[in-house]
Amino acid sequence: MAQFKLHVNGTEKIVEVSEDMPLLWVLRDHLKLVGTKYGCGIAQCGACTVHIDGVAMRSCVLPVSQIENGMKITTIEGLSQNGDHPVQQAWKELDVPQCGYCQAGQMMTASALLADNKRPSEEEIKQAMHGNICRCATYNRILDGVKLASKKM
Amino acid sequence: MKTNRRNFIKAGTFTTGGLFLGINFLASCKADVPLPKDLSKLNFKDFNSYIRISEDGYVSIYSANPEIGQGVKTSMPMIVAEELEIPWEKVHVEQTGLNSNWYERQVAGGSQSIRQGWDGLREAGATAREMLKQAAANRWEIDVAEVEAEQGAIVNQTTKEKLHYGQLVEDAAKLEVPEKVEFKKPKEYKIIGKDVSNVDLHKIVKGEPLFGLDYYEENMLYACAIRPPAFGQKLESFDATKAKSLDGVVDVFRFGDKIAIVANDTWTSFKAQKLVEAVWTSDEKLESSEDHASVLDTLLSAKNSEVLRNDGDVDQAFKEADEVIERTYAAPFLPHNCMEPMNFFADVKEGSARLVGPIQTPKWTQGRVAELLKIEAENVTIDMTRMGGGFGRRLYGGFALEAAEISSVMKRPIQMVFTREDDMTQGTYRPASKYKISASIKDGQLTGYKLKEACINGNMYGLIPNFFPAGALKNYRVEVAKYDSNITTGAWRAPYTNFLASCEQSFFDEIALVLKKDPVQMRLDLLENVKGNTDEKIEYSAERLQDVIRLAAEKSNWGKAKEGVHQGFVAYYCHNTHVAEVAEVEMVEGLPMVKKVVCAIDCGIVINPIAAKNQAEGGVIDGVGHSMFGHFQFKDGKPSASNFDKYRLIRMTEAPKVEVYFVENELDPTGLGEPTLPPAGGAVANAIFKASGRRLFNQPFINAFVDNNPLM
Ligand code: FES
Ligand code: FES
C-alpha cells in the first residue's frame, strides 16, 4: 500500500492503494467514479478509456504508480460540467446506446480523437474507434455520433 | 389482463402529499391480488405496479421488465402514456424490483416483452384515462360523451374548460373501474411511432451509476471466485496461503467445487485469485471439440432421432427424385460476452436475503436463492439494475446464487464479480451444432425437403419446425438428435434459429441455382404455396414474408449491384417477426468484407422507431460478426479463448452499414431484440458465394479464408 495524489476531473484526490492497482480500479472502487467501465482488463475492449493529459488511455492496464505527479486524469464524469460536450450532445441526439455499458469508453475515445482532429474522415473515425468494442453493435450510430459531434466542435 | 376492481389499487396518500391512481399495467399482471385491508396506508413504497399521477399533473409510470439494452424501459411506458393521453415530457419512468404479487412476466427473453405487454399496457392507460374523463364529467355535471382527454387534461367540449389530471385524480380514484375501455386508433397516436430517446440516456452519457457493477453499499466487500477450469472437473484441494497474505484480502474459502476470494476491493480479489493454488480432479470425460464433431456426425447419420414435423411422404419424394442435394453445416459453441461481466450484490442475513444486480429472470432466481439458503422466497428481495447486455446469458442466475452463498458465509454484504476470463470460460454457451439439409428435385421442381439437427445438449423444439419453409412443401420433415455434454449450454440471442436460419437460407440459395431461379423469386413462389394452407401450426404469414422480401429487394436494388459488389439474399421468420435481408460483400485483399446490409422488417406497429432501428442494426451486425468471426473450441474441457485477445468480436472497421426499413401497417407489435440476427449469417454466406465462388458450410466463415489465423 502506498499513498498517491491524483488529479482527477479538476480536483486533487488522495488514495491509499497497492501500487500495481490499475487506475481503473482506483477510480471505480476507491474514488467511486464508476462511469469508467471494466470490460476485459487487458487493453482489448476500450470500456475503461480515460484521458490522461488529453490522450485516450486504457485505464485497466495503467498501474496507479505510473501516473506522474501533475498528470491530469479526465473520466466520463469530468468530460463536461453538464453532460453537454459535443460528443455527449451528439450521443443524446442520435440515441446511440443500447445497453450503454461500452459507451463511456466510446465517448472518451471519440472526444480525444476530436480534440486532436476536429474534422476526421470516415476512415479516420473508424480507425480511431476500432479499439472500442460494442457488444450491442451500435457501430453505425457511433460513427454517425462522431460525425455529428465533429460538426459541433 | 382484465383490469378489475381487485387489481386496480386506487387512491393512496403519498408521503409528499400527492395522490395516485394505481393500476396493474402488464398483460400478465395477476388478477387476483388481494387488496390491502387499509387503502389509506398505501404509499409509494408499498405498491409499485401503478401509474402515479401527482397533483401537479406529472405522471410516473413503473417499468417492471428487466432492461438489457432492448429498450423496454422506454417503449413499454410509451404505450401506457399513449393511451393515458399524457405528453411524454410529463412522464417519469421508474424501474421496479421483482414483485411477484403484482407482476407475472418480469423476464427479458424471447423478444416477448412488447408483444405480450401490448394489450395490458394499453388497457392500463386507457382505463385511467376513462376514469379521469368520468371524474371531470361528474364535476361539470355533464355526460362523459361531452368531454375529451387531451394532453394531460380533460376538456369540456362545449365550454372548452380544462381540468388537468392532477386536479381529477382524487375523484377518479373513487370511481368504479370501467369494465371495457376503447383503445385509440393507430391514426390517433401521438407518442407511439415517434422517436423517443432512451429514458436512461442522460445518465449513460454522463457515466452515472446504473449497472450491476456500479452498485455500491457501505460496508460492502468485493469477491470473485475460482471455478473448475475445465468442464467435468471437481475441486480436490487448494492452498490459499499466498493469496491470504496479500494486503486487503479478507478471506478465501471453499464453497462446493469453487473457491471464494473476498477482499476490500475488486482488484485485490482478482489479484489474489491468481495466487490460489488449486488441485482439480475429474471422474468425468473432459471433452474436446474434435470429439463433438464426430459425435454430431454420428448423430446425423443415425436413425434414432426425434421427428418434430413430418408432412407428406418425404422418403417417397427422395426415391423418385431426379436429383438430390444434400449439405452439412457446422457451427461452434459461442460465449455471450456481455460487455458487463456477470456480477451480483447480495446481503444475506439470518432468514432473509437482499440481492441487487443485472438479471433477465428475477423470479426464477428468487426461488433458487431461497432454496439454496433454505429460507422463504418471500424473504428474498431482488432489485434489478440496468444490464450491460444479456443476450441470454443473464437468464441463468448462477452468479446471483454464488453471491448469496458468499455473503451468507461472510455475514456481510458482498459484490461478486466475474473477471472477463471467468465470464468467457464459465459460460452457458450457444451449443455447437450441425445440420444436414437435403432436397429432392424432380422435373425441375422442389419436391421434398428434410432437415436434421444434431446438437450438443439439444436445441430446436416443437415450435421452430413450423417456421418457413414449413407449409410451402408437400413433403417436409424436421428431426433432431442430441448429445448430452457436461459443457453448459443455453439460450444465446435468438436461440434455436441463430444458426439454423443461416444454414437453411444458404441451402435455398443452392436450390435456386439448381432450379435456375432467382433466389428472391424462388422464395416468393414457395410462399405462394403456403397461402390457403390451413395448418394452424404454421407460425408465420406468407403474405407478410412476401412483403418484406419485396421491400428488401426493392431497397437493395437486388440484382443491380455495382461491379465488385456481391449480394446475398435471405428471408426469415422468428420471434413473431418477419425479416428479409440483403448483404453486400466485396473482396478486399482476398478477404470477404461485409460492407452493407439492407434489412426489411415487419414487426407490426413500431412503438419507438429510433430504438427499433438501433435494435435491428445491432442484431444484424451481431449476426454478421458471429457468423464471420465467432470461434470457440474446447480442448479437454477447457475453452480455447478466455478474453478478447483470443476471441474476436466484430469491431468498428468490420461493421457493415445497415439500412433498416419497416413495413408500415397497423398490426399488433412484435419483438425486435432477436429476429434480425438469425438471417444475417445466411445473407453473408450467399453474398460470399457470389463474391468468391466459395460456398461456406462452417462458421466462422473467416476460417475458410485465413490459414493460421493467430486469433483462431
Ligand atoms: S477494460 Fe480496459 S480495455 Fe477493456
Ligand atoms: S451499447 Fe451495449 S456494449 Fe455498447
> Which strand (E) or helix (H) includes residue B299?
helix B289-301
Task: Indicate if the pLDDT at residue B367 is higher than 90.
Answer: yes
Task: Indicate if the pLDDT at residue A39 is higher than 90.
Answer: yes
Q: State in Å: Cα A34 to ligand 1 middle.
A: 14
Residue B253 and residue B131 share a domain: no
The domain segmentation of chain A, as residue ranges, is: 2-78, 86-152
Q: Are B675 and B494 in contact (CB under 8 A)?
A: yes
Q: Are B506 and B684 in contact (CB under 8 A)?
A: no
Task: Indicate if the pLDDT at residue B376 is higher than 70.
Answer: yes
Task: Indicate if the pLDDT at residue A118 is higher than 80.
Answer: yes
Task: Indicate if the pLDDT at residue B37 is higher than 50.
Answer: no
Q: Is A89 in the pocket of ligand 2 (CB under 6 A)?
A: no
Q: Of A40, A79, A126, which is closest to B643 when you measure between CB atoms?
A: A40
CATH of A2-78, one of 3.40.50.2300, 3.10.20.30, 3.40.30.10, 3.30.1280.10: 3.10.20.30
Tell me how far apart the 2 most distant CA atoms of chain B are, in Å. 84
Higher pLDDT, B412 or B96: B412
Average pLDDT over chain A reads 97
Cell numbers for B150, please give them.
387531451
Residue B554 and residue B488 share a domain: yes
Q: What pLDDT is recorded for position B110?
A: 60
Stretch among B71-85, B167-181, B238-252, B344-358 having the lowest mean pLDDT: B167-181
Q: What is the pLDDT of residues B498-541, one digit of tens each?
A: 999 999 999 999 999 999 999 999 999 999 999 989 999 998 99
C-alpha–C-alpha distance, residues B688 and B695, integer Å: 7
For the segment B163-177, the average pLDDT, to the nearest whole number, is 84
Q: Final residue of a domain: which of B150, B179, B203?
A: B203
Residues 6+ apart with CB under 8 A from B218: none
Residue B351 and residue B315 share a domain: no
**Sheet of B51-53, strand order:** B51-53, B59-63, B91-95
- Going by pLDDT thresholds of 50, 70 and 90, the confidence category of residue A53 is very high
Q: State in Å: Cα A29 to ligand 1 middle.
A: 16
Single out the residue of B87, B484, B48, B31 nearest to residue B287, CA to CA: B484
Residue B614 and residue B554 share a domain: yes
**Number of A–B residue contacts, CB under 8 Å:** 185
Task: Indicate if the pLDDT at residue B706 is higher than 60.
Answer: yes
For the segment B546-565, the average pLDDT, to the nearest whole number, is 97
User: How many percent of chain A have pLDDT more than 90?
Assistant: 98
Residue B593 and residue B674 share a domain: yes
Residues in B touching A142 (Cβ below 8 Å): 652
Residues in A touching B266 (Cβ below 8 Å): 25, 28-29, 38
Q: Does residue B333 fall inside a structural domain?
A: no
For the segment B191-199, the average pLDDT, to the nearest whole number, is 95
C-alpha–C-alpha distance, residues A38 and B400, integer Å: 19
Residue B548 and residue B680 share a domain: yes
- Best of A26, A34, A45, A102 for a ligand 1 pocket test (most atoms within 8 Å of beta carbon): A45
Task: Indicate if the pLDDT at residue B107 is higher than 70.
Answer: no
Average pLDDT over chain B reads 89
For the segment B553-581, the average pLDDT, to the nearest whole number, is 97
Domains identified in chain B, total number:
4
C-alpha–C-alpha distance, residues B257 and B238, integer Å: 11
Q: Are B34 and B2 in contact (CB under 8 A)?
A: no
C-alpha–C-alpha distance, residues A39 and A97, integer Å: 16
The verdict on ipTM greater than 0.85 is: yes
- Going by pLDDT thresholds of 50, 70 and 90, the confidence category of residue B12 is very low
B206 and A83 in contact by Cβ < 8 A?
yes
Q: Is A132 in the pocket of ligand 2 (CB under 6 A)?
A: no
Residues 6+ apart with CB under 8 A from A136: A97, A98, A99, A102, B69, B339, B389, B618, B622
Residue B471 and residue B448 share a domain: yes
Neighbours of B506 (CB within 10 A): 25
For the segment A26-50, the average pLDDT, to the nearest whole number, is 98
Q: What pLDDT is recorded for position B104?
A: 53
Q: Nearest 5°: phi and psi at B39?
A: -65, -25
> Which strand (E) or helix (H) includes residue B544?
helix B542-555
Residue B608 and residue B505 share a domain: yes
Q: Of A25, A134, A141, which is closest to B265 when you measure between CB atoms?
A: A25
Task: Indicate if the pLDDT at residue B549 is higher than 50.
Answer: yes
Q: What is the pLDDT of residues A134-144, one digit of tens each?
A: 999 999 999 99
Ligand 1 atom at shortest distance from the alpha carbon of A40: 4
Indicate which of B650, B652, B658 best probes the interface with A, i.e. most A CBs within 10 Å of its own CB. B652
Q: Nearest 5°: phi and psi at B65?
A: -85, 145
Alpha carbon of A70: minimum distance to chain B alpha carbons (Å): 24
- Going by pLDDT thresholds of 50, 70 and 90, the confidence category of residue B178 is confident
> Which strand (E) or helix (H) includes residue B420?
helix B420-425
Q: Is A38 in the pocket of ligand 1 (CB under 6 A)?
A: yes
Q: Of A33, A92, A136, which is closest to B69 when you measure between CB atoms?
A: A136
Residue B679 and residue B568 share a domain: yes
Phi-psi region of B411 (alpha: psi -120 to 50; beta: other; left: phi over 0): left
Q: pTM of the entire structure?
A: 0.93
DSSP characters over B19-51: B-B----STT--S-PPPPS-GGG--TTT--SSE
Q: Of B197, B205, B617, which is closest to A107 when you measure between CB atoms?
A: B205
Q: Does residue B392 fall inside a structural domain?
A: yes
- Going by pLDDT thresholds of 50, 70 and 90, the confidence category of residue B246 is very high
Q: Does residue B655 fall inside a structural domain?
A: yes
Q: Is A43 in the pocket of ligand 1 (CB under 6 A)?
A: yes
CATH of A86-152, one of 3.40.50.11810, 3.30.300.160, 1.10.150.120, 1.10.3720.10: 1.10.150.120
Strands A11-17 and B277-281: unpaired
Q: What pLDDT is recorded for position B708?
A: 56
- Going by pLDDT thresholds of 50, 70 and 90, the confidence category of residue B175 is confident
Q: What pLDDT is recorded for position B11?
A: 37
B658 and A140 in contact by Cβ < 8 A?
yes
- Going by pLDDT thresholds of 50, 70 and 90, the confidence category of residue B7 is very low
C-alpha–C-alpha distance, residues A8 and B502, integer Å: 49
The crossing angle, in degrees rounded to 10, of helices A139-152 and A122-129 is 120
Ligand with the closest atom to the CA of B617: 2
Q: What pLDDT is recorded for position B73?
A: 85
Stretch among B45-49, B428-432, B553-557, B694-698 having the lowest mean pLDDT: B45-49
Stretch among B42-56, B244-258, B627-641, B644-658 having the lowest mean pLDDT: B42-56
Q: Final residue of a domain: which of B156, B174, B203?
A: B203
Q: What pLDDT is recorded for position A82?
A: 93
Q: Are B492 and B506 in contact (CB under 8 A)?
A: no
The secondary structure of residue A26, as a DSSP letter, is: I
Residue B50 and residue B17 share a domain: no
Q: What pLDDT is recorded for position B259?
A: 98
Residues in A touching B710 (Cβ below 8 Å): none
Q: Is B69 in the pocket of ligand 2 (CB under 6 A)?
A: yes
Q: Is A98 in the pocket of ligand 2 (CB under 6 A)?
A: yes
For the segment B79-94, the average pLDDT, to the nearest whole number, is 91
Q: Nearest 5°: phi and psi at B477?
A: -140, 140
- Going by pLDDT thresholds of 50, 70 and 90, the confidence category of residue B69 is low
Alpha carbon of A92: minimum distance to chain B alpha carbons (Å): 7
Residue B252 and residue B157 share a domain: no
User: Hey, which of A56-60, B75-79, B180-184 has the most confident mean pLDDT?
Assistant: A56-60
Neighbours of B24 (CB within 10 A): 29
Cell numbers for B74, please give them.
422506454
Q: Does residue B37 fall inside a structural domain?
A: no
Task: Indicate if the pLDDT at residue B621 is higher than 70.
Answer: yes
B201 and A138 in contact by Cβ < 8 A?
no
- Going by pLDDT thresholds of 50, 70 and 90, the confidence category of residue B27 is very low
- Going by pLDDT thresholds of 50, 70 and 90, the confidence category of residue B353 is very high
Q: Does residue B128 fall inside a structural domain?
A: yes
Domain, as residue range, for B65: 45-203
Task: Indicate if the pLDDT at residue B3 is higher than 60.
Answer: no
> Which strand (E) or helix (H) includes residue A110?
helix A103-116
Q: What pLDDT is recorded for position B25?
A: 34
Is any Cβ of chain B less than 8 angstroms from the Cβ of A34?
yes
- Going by pLDDT thresholds of 50, 70 and 90, the confidence category of residue B19 is very low
Q: Can you give the CATH number for the domain in which B226 is found?
A: 3.30.365.10
Q: What pLDDT is recorded for position B111?
A: 62
> Where are any strands of DSSP class E within B85-220?
91-95, 147-150, 153-156, 162-164
Find where cell 417503449 sits. B75
Task: Indicate if the pLDDT at residue B33 is higher than 60.
Answer: no
Q: Are B148 and B161 in contact (CB under 8 A)?
A: no
- Going by pLDDT thresholds of 50, 70 and 90, the confidence category of residue B51 is confident
Residue B514 and residue B397 share a domain: no
Q: Are B308 and B462 in contact (CB under 8 A)?
A: yes
